[in-house]
Amino acid sequence: MPHASLRKFAQPQLSEESILAVVEVLRSQWIATGPKVSELESALSATFGGRPTRVVTSATGAMEIALLLCGVGPGDEVITSAQSFFSAMNMILKCGARPVFVDCELHTRAIDLAQVEAAITPRTRAIMPTHFPGALGDMDALYALAGKHRLRVIEDAALVQGSLWQGKPVGSFGDIATFSFHPNKNMTTIEGGAIVVNNQEEAEQVDILRFHGIAKLPDQTRDVVLAGGKYNMSDVSAVIGLHQLQQFEDFMTQRAALAQRYFERLPTLPGVVLPPRDVAGQTWNMFCVLITYEQYQYTRASFRAALQEAGIGTGMSYEACHLTSLAKGLGYAEGMFPIAERIGRETVTLPLHVGLTLADIDHVCDVVARLLSQ
């Protein structure tokens, strides 16, 4: 019998120890930013090769801070993928810059570097790629291109914490990387995120940007040196993150086993595209399948409804950003980035989280096979 957890395509796994640790933090009465935040930042930094790491209230906030740290502002352009969550587009616009969309590769969803190079203008300040589970794009080529044109890189690594490039964890090399600790990510702090930067000077700028633009003067009075926001994490969230980080390797092992089961059990059918398989060092935050629904007499809505009726929850990560009303207002239109549009049109995100068993995945695969054989 499949678990009730199958009704959710993603959910966190919180240990009893982490719940008790939250109670201890609440009883300490130090519930805003405090020692647990510092402890979490140090623990995360150790996973990123010792690079300076700061935690914030969301990955979206981390993106905004990263853009501001790179000096992105009105009149600038940032090149990003049309296949991503909406936060990259939104934060670029919020900084006063223009998102310049390019297409992606079908299987990996990695940003198309040839299109990136073609899109570079004198106004380009940064490249913001989104990494997807299963396989990274060519990171060496990405950084070679950025170096050639003297551009900053802000990696949206929300979905791939723990993934490796040539044996090195994402975030341990390169320029800036941002991570998400939303409940549907590889680890959670309820809501939250992190930004990994290059040096202590940048980390100190993040400290200012994430808390009202405040800088301490030598006499310990405060000055506001820029128009900052308020993105500081609470110790309540941080202590959850510390316990999640202790379980992280076990989480990734279980997720990898679930993803492998999908590859073993999902049928090979025409018009069905699975994620990349057997790429070394990759984590599995979600399992996205592309289906040409019309070939099987479905729409995506009717296919998802059929899965829901069988007790299986799904998602559809992600719609193509350039087809949103906001982006259309900037002049983007259907047909400009066909691969991102196909992914946005055909994706169904199947359940994958550490609350599931291999038997649950077998059930999903059996139902999918039955639906597509009718």
Query: pLDDT of 166-207, one tens digit each?
Result: 999 999 999 999 999 999 999 999 999 999 999 999 999 999
DSSP-assigned states of every residue in 190-227: SS-EEEE-SSHHHHHHHHHHTBTTEEE-TTS-EEE-S-
pLDDT of residue 2: 62
Check if 328 is active-site.
Answer: no
Peptide bond into 298 cis (omega under 30): no
Average pLDDT along the chain: 97
Give the pLDDT confidence score for residue 1 in this predicted structure. Answer: 57
- Give the pLDDT of residue 51: 98
Q: Does domain 247-373 have CATH number 3.40.50.720?
A: no
- % of residues, the chain, pLDDT over 90: 97
In the chain, CATH 3.90.1150.10 sits at 247-373
- Six-digit token pair at 90? 């939104």
Q: Order of strands, edge to edge, in the sheet holding 287-291?
A: 272-273, 287-291, 347-350
User: pLDDT category, 374, cuts 50, 70, 90?
Assistant: confident
CB atoms closer than 10 angstroms to residue 263: 13
Cα–Cα distance for residue pair 190/12, rounded to 1 Å:
9
Band (pLDDT 50/70/90 cuts) for residue 10 is confident
Q: Where on the phi/psi map is residue 367: left (φ > 0), alpha (ψ -120 to 50), or beta? A: alpha
pLDDT at 69 over 90: yes
pLDDT (0 to 100) of residue 255: 98
pLDDT classification of 4: cutoffs 50, 70, 90: confident
Q: Where are the alpha helices (DSSP H) in 72-190?
A: 87-94, 113-119, 139-148
Catalytic residue among 8, 94, 185, 216: 185
Confidence of residue 140 (pLDDT cuts 50, 70, 90): very high
In the CATH scheme, what is the code of domain 16-246? 3.40.640.10
- For residue 248, the model assigns a pLDDT of 98
* Average pLDDT for 138-157: 98
Measured over all CA atoms, what is the biggest interatomic distance in the chain, rounded to whole angstroms? 75
Give the pairing of strands 176-180 and 152-156: parallel
Mean pLDDT, residues 359-369 taken together: 97
Q: Which residue has the tokens 């193509």?
A: 320
pLDDT in tens, 228-278: 999 999 999 999 999 999 999 999 999 999 999 999 999 999 999 999 999
Q: Nearest-CA neighbor of 189 among 50, 85, 36, 303?
A: 36
| Angstrom distance (rounded) from CA 164 to CA 256 | 14
Q: CA 374 from chain center: how many Å? A: 35
State the span(s) of the chain assigned CATH 3.40.640.10. 16-246
